[in-house]
Amino acid sequence: MTPARATTHAPLSAGIARALAALRRIIGVPDYDRYVQHMHAHHPGCAVLPRDEFMRERMADRYGRPGNRCC
Amino acid sequence: MHRLRSTLAWTAVALAGAGSLAAIALARGEKVSAAWLLVAALCVYAIAYRFYSRIIAANIFALDATRATPAERLNDGRDFVPTNRWIVFGHHFAAIAGPGPLVGPTLAAQFGYLPGALWIIVGVAIGGAVQDCVILCSSLRRDGKTLGEMAKEEIGPVAGYTALVAVIGIMVILIAVLALVVVNALKSSPWGIVTLGLTIPIALFMGVYLRWLRPHRVLEASAIGLALLVVALYAGRWVAGSPSLAPIFTFDGPTIALMVIAYGWAAAVLPVWLLLAPRDYLSAFVKIGVVAALALGIVVVLPPLEMPAVTRFVDGTGPVFAGKLFPFVFITIACGAISGFHALISSGTTPKLLESEPDARLIGYGAMLMESAVAIMALIAACALTPGVYFAINAPVALLGTTAATAAEAVQQWGFVVTPDQLAQLARDVGESSILSRTGGAPSLAVGMAHLFSAALGGSGALALWYHFAIMFEALFILTTLDAGTRVGRFMLQGLLKHAWEPLGRVSWYPAVLLTSAMVVGMWGYFLYQGVIDPLGGINSLWPLFGIANQLLATVALCVGTTVIIKMGKARYAFMTVVPLCWLTVVTMTAGFLKVFSRDPKLGFLAHAELVQETLDAGLLPLGAKTVADASRIVTNDRVDAFVAAFFLASVIVILAASLREWWAVLGGRKPAVSSEVPYRPRTAFASGD
């Protein structure tokens, strides 16, 4: 969490952006930026899925198995 | 010094909790404030979290902050993503908390507030939260394996198949009973049906917006969706108030049931981005918002509990559902105390997100405590209603009759005071033609919440808006569970059927998709429809079946947990899962046995079938049936219900026998106690996220 704050110039708007990102993750929106970051960091040579395809793939997974929704 | 202060603080928490419990338990004849119930619950939660969950975290699993989690080792940026613990907490909570913890406690209020409250508070501390946490830790140490996989590997293939069947069974019954709750809330309610109906185009619009208009702006689309929900609320009021439009949108139960069935099928067939995903986002927001609002309402108003601590219905004569306090309060309240379904989530997405092992305590144990708090709040909202009103809303037509006068008379005979005028006035206040026999818990909870909200936030003129707001959000949750559940059921069915004929397993071949979706919808649709036409209201027979199914899954989870603990060589701590397991086994077996074999026709499915058949044979029509065909259908339904309950019972026995055999073998030294955990690897990354 701290490194993000260190690199930003406007802490307030960065804070809001982080809060919104957290909110998105809580309601279950797949995090594309994180995925791209991960691919660049760990698999530099590999092809990165475009955003649309990534989202489609994540959603198919989310709604394709039990264990993401309860009574 | 620090130690002393900590001891003093925890002593104070313990005393406050014990004092509040004593105040609740010993109060006789005078009304108790909801504050006592809240304080008692929160103190017990704090103590359980601090001291009891420590045994799981420290003594059993020895959760280790230096050990790499699956999210770190298998990080792929998609499924396995190390995530901040509070985000995982929110995500996990939003996944486990649905309509269950709201409906169960509301129904169980027929026994009074004390039995339900004690079971919720004690059950979660030593049962539900333990189950969630142990399964989460077990899955965390096994690369995020699912409950079914762990059952198969730890106990044996028989247990694995039982788990699979239990999951399918529970989904069918769960969806049916939740859909029934929606139908009962919406029948003859043009306001409710218009408001809920409009949520479908709202979700579709969000889907289109996210796909083409402003792709991936989820929060923006959700904000628009939430604003449109408010518009839908007012649109419903406008339609209900219009003499020409209201009749067009007034439907009876069976018609709404068919609409829900058609909707379920469509939702399982349409692409997820169009309907499912946007509805899910909306529902998650509404969920968190309403839980917060409910907490705020209760804390601001601190309503007195109007319901007696214990009602006379503990003897099994209750109108809301049949059966005595034992075992039925423990079946009726599953979510909030212990819910087997959670084991699927604790071994699904959540273990793949944890950044650090010790977070499992907060998320596994802590999130379940929070769900339990939601259940306590639902119980408070139900018990803050005048008991006469509560029973007039929750008792079936067969007992109340159809007019306010007959209903008031029936309720008075049960010993509660309510006048026909009061019932008619309340119906007018909430903007409905009648509130009688709206079984299923959602409407009485909505009335309770509407009272709280209007007392805390706005005058009594807003009662009707708050009521329909509460109905809308409950129905929104339920439809989200219904369409996601149908879709998952479809995939599971396709997975099974492909062994019979390969093309049936193809997930993007339309004939297979349409057919298997129809089969899943047909399964829960059958139970839904039989519930809707049941003169006793359906909830009466379906909710106990759901409770038994859910506790069956909890039995599977606790068996898996116990096996894991024994194989780790920690058998001396196995009591953590064995104690709730024994209790659940006793409860499930007793309840299941009574539902199948009890000679009391109100309780036993077979006895009821027999009674109806005898009445028919005597040339008469049984209570509530209009034709001979209706009556024969009741007989068939009873037998199907009896079969389902017996099947769940047999599953409990199978899984227990398989587990006991495994434990004996390991404890007797005939099988080595080898843990199947993935070996230790130190963490490399410590920063949140990447």
* Segments making up each domain of chain A, as ranges: 9-62
| pLDDT tens sequence across B182-215 | 999 999 999 999 999 999 999 999 999 999 999 9
Please state, in angstroms and rounded to a whole number, the distance separating the CA atoms of residues B439 and B444: 8
A47 chain-B contacts, CB cut-off 8 A: none
pLDDT, position A9: 55
Q: Which of A2, A4, A66, A54 is nearest to A29 (CA)?
A: A54
C-alpha distance from A57 to closest chain B C-alpha (Å): 9
Asked whether the beta carbons of residue A68 and residue B95 sit closer than 8 angstroms, the reply is yes
- Of all residues in chain B, the one with the smallest CA distance to A59 is B272
**Strand blocks (E) in B125-255:** none
CA–CA min distance B516, chain A (Å): 14
Question: Does B110 fall in a domain?
Answer: yes
CA-nearest residue to B348 within chain A is A67
pLDDT band at residue B680 under the 50/70/90 scheme: very high
Interchain CB distance below 8 Å, B100 and A41: no
A71 and B491 in contact by Cβ < 8 A? no
- The minimal CB distance from A71 to the residues B76, B98, B488 is found for B98
At residue B93, the pLDDT reads 94
Is residue B51 within 8 Å of residue B328, measured between CB atoms? no
Residue B459's pLDDT band, with cuts at 50, 70 and 90, is low
pLDDT tens digits, one per residue of B533-572:
887 778 888 999 999 999 999 999 999 999 999 999 999 9
B interface mutation test: which of A32, A35, A70 has the most B CBs within 10 A?
A: A70
In chain A, what residues touch B84 (CB-CB under 8 Å)?
Answer: 1, 22
Which residues on B lie below 8 Å from A42 (Cβ)? 75
B690: in domain: no
Domain that holds residue B427: 12-189+250-667
pLDDT attached to residue A6: 45
B585, B656 contact by CB (below 8 A): yes
Mean pLDDT throughout B119-135? 98
Residue B209: partners with Cβ closer than 8 Å, 6 or more residues away: B217, B221, B224
Token reading at B227? 């604003």
pLDDT, tens digit (0-9, with 9 covering 90-100), for B597-637: 999 998 999 999 999 999 999 988 887 778 888 888 889 99
* pTM of structure: 0.94
Of the candidates B472, B275, B474, the one whose C-alpha atom is nearest the C-alpha of residue B374 is: B474
What is the signed CA dihedral for B563, B565, B568, B573, rounded to 10 degrees?
Answer: -140
Hey, are the CB atoms on B344 and A66 less than 8 Å from each other?
A: yes
Is B55 inside any structural domain?
yes
- Chain A CA closest to residue B167: A66
Residue B487 in this model has a pLDDT that exceeds 80: yes
Residues in A lying within 8 Å of B, measured between beta carbons:
1-3, 20, 22-32, 34-39, 41-42, 51-52, 54-71
Beta-carbon separation of A27 and B688 below 8 A: no
Question: What CATH number should be reported for the domain holding residue B441?
Answer: 1.20.1740.10
Would you call B273 and A65 a contact, using CB atoms and an 8 Å cutoff? no
- Domain assignment present for residue B207? The answer is no
Q: Check CB contact under 8 Å for B215 and A61.
A: no
pLDDT in tens, B511-532: 999 999 999 999 999 999 999 9
ipTM for the predicted complex: 0.84
Q: What is the pLDDT of residue B625?
A: 77
User: Average of pLDDT values for B419-440?
Assistant: 94
B438-to-B183, B441, B630, B673 alpha-carbon distances in Å: 9, 8, 21, 54
Task: Specify whether the CB–CB gap between B72 and B683 falls below 8 A.
Answer: yes
Quote the percentage of chain B above a pLDDT of 70: 99
Residue in A20, A39, A68 closest to B345 by CB: A68
pLDDT tens, per residue, chain A with 71 residues: 344 444 445 678 999 998 999 999 999 898 898 899 999 988 888 889 999 899 888 988 888 877 666 66
Residue B520 lies inside a defined structural domain of this protein = yes
What percentage of chain B has pLDDT greater than the value 90? 80
Query: Is B588 within 8 Å of B552 (Cβ atoms)?
Result: yes
Q: How confident is the model at residue B295 (pLDDT cuts 50, 70, 90)?
A: very high
Q: Is the pLDDT of residue B84 over 80?
A: yes
Q: At what angle do helices B85-96 and B367-383 cross, to 10 degrees?
A: 40
Angle at B478 between CA B474 and CA B481, to 5 degrees: 145
d(CA B271, CA B275): 7
pLDDT at B446 (0 to 100): 94
Give the closest-approach CA distance of A45 to chain B in angstroms. Answer: 14
Q: Residue B550: closest CA among chain A residues belongs to which residue?
A: A71
- Spatial CB neighbours of B68, under 8 Å, sequence gap ≥ 6: B681, B682, B683, B684
Pick A22's closest partner by Cβ from B87, B146, B288.
B87
Token digits for B346?
A: 């604790």
